[in-house]
Amino acid sequence: MDKKIPGTAENWESGKLGLNEATARIASPEEIAAIEQAVGLNMQPISIRLQKDLVNVLKEIARYRGIGYQPMIRDLLQRWAVGEISTILDERAREAKLKKEEIERGESLAGDLRKIA
């Protein structure tokens, strides 16, 4: 009868639970989803078509940085989205400020519509 080793942090860190391909197994989709949810990731698989050269460059950059290219692309998209939202909010704040200044100077908002019509 096999003696089961408890799945404690110490046993994982020490390697008692395995550190090679012989003791590894692929996680099920349910296990992956549970892990992602536990660490706050709400991942959605997507399909995207990119130029082969771009994919090769991204893979090379990721390899140089010592990370997987898909996590690197997620990070790249996350940083771009945060920056773009910031830019949009700045633009909208400037537009609102300009409209407020127009109102304070007594310029009619309806006047703008009459000029267009």
In the predicted structure, residue 73 carries a pLDDT above the cut 80: yes
State mean pLDDT over 58-81: 94
Is it the case that residue 47 has pLDDT exceeding 80? yes
Can you tell me whether residue 51 is helix, strand or coil? coil
* DSSP alpha helix (H) spans, the chain: 9-14, 29-38, 52-65, 69-104, 109-116
Q: With beta carbons less than 8 A apart as the criterion, state whether 44 and 54 touch.
A: no
The verdict on pTM exceeding 0.75 is no
pLDDT of residue 20: 80
Q: Residues 13-29: what's their mean pLDDT?
A: 82
